[in-house]
Amino acid sequence: MRTIQTDFTKLMNCQLPLIGAPMFLVSNVEMVVAISEAGGVGSFPALNYRPIEKYREALDEIRKRTSKPIGVNIIVNKSNLRQKEDLKHALETGVNLFITSLGNPGEVIKEAHKNGAKVVCDVTNLNHALKVQDQGADGVVAVGSGAGGHAGPISPLVLIPWLKEKLSIPIIAAGGIATGSQMASALALGASAVHVGTRFIASTEAGVEKSYKDAVVNSSPEDIVMTTRVSGTPAAVINTPYVQKLGLDLPIPLKLLKEHPKTKRYADMLIHFMGMKQLEEAATKPSWKTVWSAGQSVGLINEILPCREIVEKLVREYDAAVQNLPLAKEL
């Protein structure tokens, strides 16, 4: 199997500097196994499986089918009442990598390290990156503009080298990456791996409606908009007629509740619950209510392929990009 060695592959003992990003209601057992078996690290959000018994069954099934490194995403804000249980089951089944988002990762870092597991934390700015580094994180996922889901505001061209200059832990590039040439450019900027999500929506293993996969294949970067209606935090989605009707901002009453210190926690929980229901309906069954999460890389995705073929194609494109770089010549 082809190996591209970086600080990330050494950290995770894997062949390729690639994480199959955890995607709400998209990532599943089949995707995780296929990506990990192909040399990367497959991952999924713990909350994709409900109730908790289904989550444990998914972990057990993945471990039966691969001994390669796997990852789980845990939302670590107070609105996720399941996070302690999610962490416990993941540790018991030998999860190798935790990807934290939307909160304080301190408890996950402490417990994961007891098991020898690694933790990388989603960040969109230097301040948060420095905080999680100080807490003992093993790396950061630098979420730049162009990412699906909760995208950051800073261009990856700036965010990656900026963090690289200030941090001593590996950086995983996230945001708009769907090709091997982009993987090569991210590593050139200082990343140790790439975090690829939207490309794997258009995979045969993804357990979502074909209309969702087709929308990814047929959309352009200009079709991606940011909305706070799903989670209260700006999130990237495909601009369907339903999204246009829904609007991109929170309703005034919810916005006021979210801004008030005494009601913020409850407003966040309500917004998350409502957003999850909208995404679940759109992703798993035909509906005119389509809220499809995706990043700007939709413009670079032209076909639905098995996850292994996507990984192999990324590696071929990476090799071609590196080989085709112009060599420096002395004048």
DSSP of 206-233: --S-HHHHHHHHH--GGGEEEESTTTSS
Q: What is the dihedral of CA 128, 129, 133, 137, to 10 degrees?
A: 100
**Tens-digit pLDDT string for the chain (331 aa):** 689 999 999 999 999 999 999 998 899 999 999 999 999 999 999 989 988 999 999 999 999 999 999 999 998 877 777 889 999 999 999 999 999 988 899 999 999 999 999 999 999 999 999 999 999 999 999 999 999 887 888 999 999 999 999 999 999 999 999 999 999 999 999 999 999 999 999 999 998 989 999 999 999 999 998 876 555 567 888 888 777 766 555 444 444 444 556 554 544 444 444 444 444 444 444 443 577 889 999 999 999 999 999 999 999 999 999 998 887 555 4
**What's the pTM?**
0.86
Tokens 């390290």 sit at which residue?
A: 113
Long-range pairs, 254-260, Cβ under 8 A, ≥24: 258/232
State the pLDDT at residue 229: 58
State the pLDDT at residue 262: 53
* DSSP one-letter string for 265-293: HHHHHHHHHHHHHHHHHHHHS--S----B
Backbone angles phi, psi at 46, to 5 degrees: -55, -35
Strand partners for 196 = 20
For helices 264-284 and 252-259, angle between their N-to-C axes, nearest 10 degrees: 130
| Cβ 206 vs Cβ 28: under 8 Å | yes
Helix %, strand %, coil % of the chain (to 5): 45, 15, 40
Q: Which tokens go with 78?
A: 């107070």
Look at residues 196, 159, 203, 191 and name the one whose alpha carbon lies nearest to residue 180.
196
Of all helices (H) and strands (E), which one includes residue 123? strand 118-123
| Cβ 9 vs Cβ 3: under 8 Å | yes
Residue ranges, comma separated, of all CATH 3.20.20.70 domains in the chain are 7-207+302-323
Compute the radius of gyration of the chain from its Cα atoms: 19
Angle in degrees, CA 275, 280, 284, rounded to 5: 160
Provide the CATH topology of domain 7-207+302-323.
Answer: TIM Barrel (3.20.20)
State the pLDDT at residue 242: 77
